[in-house]
Structure 1
């Protein structure tokens, strides 16, 4: 009576380990890109909550935005990626940028990110 062996062979284990390693390596490249995008979104939401932001000029709004990014070490967003346009009684801030990270040899990982935030005046909270 022969018993059949069960389990994974060494070669199978090495192949599974290799695949897991590739995904872990890709994650190490992708996670910082998405973390920076989250920082951009948080910075836009933060300047939208600034009191009197709609009375500021576009240069001041850009400065406030980049100060928030500087604190968070976001380095891929440049001033040419930020467009501020007037809309009604406020502004619309649009951040459109691309991040390219080398992966293996001549293969790159490219992330394109776009975020938009409307800056509006706060409504009076008086009684009706």
Structure 2
């Protein structure tokens, strides 16, 4: 939290109690890919005075400043997660929003090759495949 606070301060922002509450929810729920409504419901438990508009503004700011990732799904639905230098491989269902993470040795080998061929130090990446999970695909026929 201190690192995030310092990053915001360097960019001219304050870590308000509301922003801190939203960040705390994201930190306490790693890899959960939360919707704004989920974050709002969780934050209200400790900050009942917070409004949905404040949560949206906070998420927009944190996304703009690359502190969190915003994953846009169909019909304007978004999910949020903390920015990370980890290697993520995800399958994202465009209908229900389910996100499945997977590991693949082939991608690790590709990362090594790309780094060597381009004399580039890779510190992280996010690879997402968009489509429909088995349940949603079956429901569509």
Q: TM-score, normalised by structure 2?
A: 0.29
Q: Looking at both structures, which has the greater relative contact order when contacts are Cα pairs under 8 Å and sequence separation is at least 6?
A: 1
Larger radius of gyration: 1
More strand by share: 1
